[in-house]
Chains A and B, each alone.
Chain A
Amino acid sequence: MKEQNCVKMEFPSRSVNEGYARAAVAAFASQLDMTLTELGDVKTAVSEAVTNAIVHAYPEGLGTVSLRVRILEGDVLEVQVKDKGRGIEDVEKAREPLFTTGGEDRSGMGFTIMESFMDSLRVKSKPGSGTSVTMRKKVARRTAGR
């Protein structure tokens, strides 16, 4: 799919940046004609992916989180969140609802929410070297007046 626009950012894995990442993606996505519901879904999915990079990728200390947002031909928004952290041993298992290595603080619903709020979710990971999560959502065409 042809790229029409793109922004990239990098930030340290501090939890205060979770809100920033959501707001930045939402601001960029406003180039597409999204409903509030669609925008809410995108923000939620971004929050899940960025939180995972902050919580799970770098359990001790800080690392870098990279975020790339693209608008692709055909009103498709793509968000990619990458870390160079611990990685995931078994991605299929990690994606199952309720699976968590995080204890009482986490719900194990992050991947499930990304999957159900976006059209597609691709997770690539290598233990010891990092994880990338790529999500896409096609914005529904709206009739005039919206």
Chain B
Amino acid sequence: MKLSTSEKAGKLTIAIGGELDHHGAREAARRIEETIEASVPRDCVIDLRELRFMDSSGIAIILRVYKRLNAIGGRLTVENVPEQPMRVLDASGIDRMIDINAMQTEKPV
């Protein structure tokens, strides 16, 4: 699991890459929460462009971020979701609450 954050004009971007499973989830959750506490963003983007694998541990993290942002009046979007994580998010039904956007494939098939 790789995590990096950047902030620009009140918008916090959290990029998660590699494999997000239970093994890396606790550290990811801790670091994300610290970042949100520190920056109190109005807009937050979780960018999954570099995410190679995610299971239901990732759903729990995204839900936590969503609840945290709701509590401080911020808004969450999840961007550039590759196919495998997208199937997991679809199965969870959280796309009914959270704005989730698939990665655009460059190559037409």
A binding-site residues for B, Cβ under 8 Å: 15-16, 18-19, 22, 36-37, 40-41, 43-44, 47-48, 51, 54-55, 97, 104-107, 109-110, 112-113, 116-117
Contact = CB atoms under 8 A, between A and B. Distances in A.
A117 B83 CA distance: 14
B23 A110 contact: no
Contact count band on B: 20 to 34
29 contacts: A18-B21, A18-B22, A19-B19, A19-B21, A19-B23, A22-B53, A36-B83, A40-B53, A41-B87, A44-B87, A47-B21, A47-B53, A48-B55, A48-B56, A51-B22, A54-B22, A97-B93, A104-B60, A104-B64, A105-B22, A105-B25, A106-B56, A107-B57, A107-B63, A107-B92, A109-B92, A110-B56, A113-B88, A116-B91
Given A43-B53, A110-B56, A113-B56, A51 B87 contact: no
B55 A37 contact: no
Which of A40, A43, A48 gathers most chain B CB within 10 Å? A40
B59 interface: yes
Q: Is the interface of B mostly helix, strand, loop or mixed?
A: helix
Which of B29, B56, B57 gathers most chain A CB within 10 Å? B56
Interface string B33-64: 00000000000000000000101110110011
B84 A18 contact: no
B83 A44 contact: no
B26 interface: yes
Given A44-B84, A51-B57, A109 B91 contact: yes
A107 B56 contact: yes
